[in-house]
């Protein structure tokens, strides 16, 4: 096991001017489960492939432990990779697939069998060792791919969206198994996904990338409670955070007929570029349904109610305001409500932001102010 360090690591693809990964500085502790997350094209898979040695590093360095592996061949880096596609040999049994890398390395047959059987026991694959991949389900094939990585006993596991080909229920089940397995083995793991729910539920820490740039690194709770910029705020969390840019008047952001008080220190931190405007974010659960005319209340016209049994979410339009208030890619406000008191489509509900639950960002830079 070992630490992993990206030191100003940069990758520029031939024929492009903008780096796919730009000056990435990231340190991963020994035994840590770190998740690289972001939208398509953000540079997360490229970062993983740079660590694996499958992509050239055009600037900076990459270390595994104290060893600079920037120019080391992939086979000599002591890493094991699990891909989105299982990449199993169809003509080989499960046991042969799992032990193939050890066979190529010239390990004794007895040792290979011992390691394969140990990994199969961990992954609940013992009864499938003599089957071919075509006789397995998608989840079982993914576990075989995991087993192939485990038997190598590497210093670092690299996982590139390994759950993308599984159905929703199996994805939830398998992500729990992977997280539990990693904690049991204690091997440093770098896991790439575009699914922020996977990131929040699996990682010891999360690193969010966008446009090749590292936006924020922290624990799932830190990312959720204190996003450092508008991008992270809108990306982390499901449903997405409500975000809007509003004018400041009399020490408060004006949300239609309502207002959100802004601390003097925050207002003093605004610059001329902000033009007396501020971006306010609030999560769906940060809103209380209140009576009409309550202090700080604003009206939301209900367009859709999403009932999930234990939860319910209202999607609606902010009334009495021309501000651009949205959640994720939607131009609607999302409100978490009591699932036993669900409004009807077309109704108007009155909501207010709970005290201390508003996130404040610079309108010009998008960076956190509070």
Which tens digits make up the pLDDT trace of 166-215?
Answer: 888 888 888 888 898 899 889 999 999 999 899 999 999 999 999 999 99
d(CA 111, CA 103): 10
Could you tell me if 205 and 181 lie in one domain? yes
Q: How far apart are CA 100 and CA 300, in angstroms?
A: 60
Average pLDDT on 89-109 reads 92
Mean pLDDT of the chain: 91
Q: What is the pLDDT of residue 187?
A: 94
Q: What confidence score (pLDDT) does residue 36 get?
A: 97
Q: In terms of domains, do 213 and 260 share one?
A: no
Q: Is the pLDDT of residue 87 over 90?
A: no
Residue 329 confidence (pLDDT) above 70? no
* Among the ranges given (45-59, 120-134, 176-190, 325-339), the one the predictor scored with the smallest mean pLDDT: 325-339
Phi-psi bin for 280: left (phi > 0), alpha (psi -120 to 50), beta?
beta
- Are residues 197 and 261 located together in one domain of the fold? no
Q: Say what the pLDDT of residue 169 is.
A: 84
Angle among Cα 50, 63, 73 to the nearest 5 degrees reads: 55
What pLDDT does 268 receive? 87
CATH of the domain at 175: 3.40.50.300
Domain of 271 in residue numbering reads as: 240-362
In a domain? residue 167: yes
Between residues 326 and 132, the one the model is more confident about: 132
Q: Are 64 and 156 in contact (CB under 8 A)?
A: yes
Whether 296 has a pLDDT exceeding 90, the answer reads no
Query: In terms of C-beta density within 10 A (0-12 exposed, 13-18 middle, 19 or more buried), how is residue 253 classed?
Result: buried
Question: In this structure, are 179 and 277 located in the same domain?
Answer: no
- In angstroms, the Cα distances linking 110 to 80, 115, 122, 368 are 22, 9, 19, 58
Q: Is residue 369 part of a domain?
A: no
Residue 252 predicted with pLDDT over 60: yes
> Are 219 and 247 in a shared domain?
no
What mean pLDDT comes out for the span 13-32? 95
């Amino acid at each position: 096991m070992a630490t992993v360090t990206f030191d100003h690591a940069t990758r520029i693809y031939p024929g492009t001017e903008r780096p796919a990964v730009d000056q990435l500085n990231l340190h991963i502790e020994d035994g840590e489960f770190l998740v690289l997350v972001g939208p398509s094209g953000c540079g997360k898979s490229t970062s993983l492939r740079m660590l694996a040695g499958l992509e050239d590093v055009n600037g900076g360095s990459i270390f595994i432990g104290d060893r600079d592996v920037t120019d080391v061949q992939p086979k000599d880096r002591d890493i094991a990779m699990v891909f989105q596609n299982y990449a199993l040999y169809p003509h080989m049994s499960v046991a042969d697939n799992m032990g193939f890398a050890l066979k190529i390395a010239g390990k004794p047959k007895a040792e290979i069998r011992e390691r394969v059987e140990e990994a199969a026991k961990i992954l609940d694959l013992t009864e499938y060792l003599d089957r071919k991949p075509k006789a397995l389900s998608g989840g079982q094939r993914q576990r075989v791919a995991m087993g192939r990585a485990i038997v190598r006993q590497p210093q670092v596991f690299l996982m590139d969206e390994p759950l993308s080909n599984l159905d929703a229920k199996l994805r939830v089940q398998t992500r729990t198994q992977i997280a539990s397995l990693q904690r049991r083995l204690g091997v440093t793991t770098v896991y790439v996904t575009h699914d922020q729910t996977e990131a929040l539920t699996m990682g010891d820490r999360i690193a969010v990338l966008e446009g090749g740039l590292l936006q924020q690194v922290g624990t799932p709770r830190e990312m959720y409670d204190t996003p450092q910029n508008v991008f992270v705020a809108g990306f982390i969390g499901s449903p997405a955070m409500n975000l809007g840019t509003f004018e400041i008047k009399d020490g408060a952001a004006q949300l239609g007929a309502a207002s959100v008080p802004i601390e003097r220190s925050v207002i003093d931190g605004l610059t001329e570029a902000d033009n007396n405007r501020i971006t306010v974010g609030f999560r769906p659960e940060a809103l209380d349904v209140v009576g009409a005319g309550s202090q700080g209340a604003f009206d939301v016209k209900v367009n859709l109610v999403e009932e999930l049994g234990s939860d319910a979410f209202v999607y609606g339009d902010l009334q009495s305001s021309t501000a651009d208030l949205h959640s994720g890619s939607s131009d609607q406000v999302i409100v978490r409500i009591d699932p036993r008191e669900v409004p009807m489509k077309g109704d108007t509900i009155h909501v207010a932001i709970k005290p201390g639950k508003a996130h404040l960002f610079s309108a010009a830079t998008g960076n956190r102010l509070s």
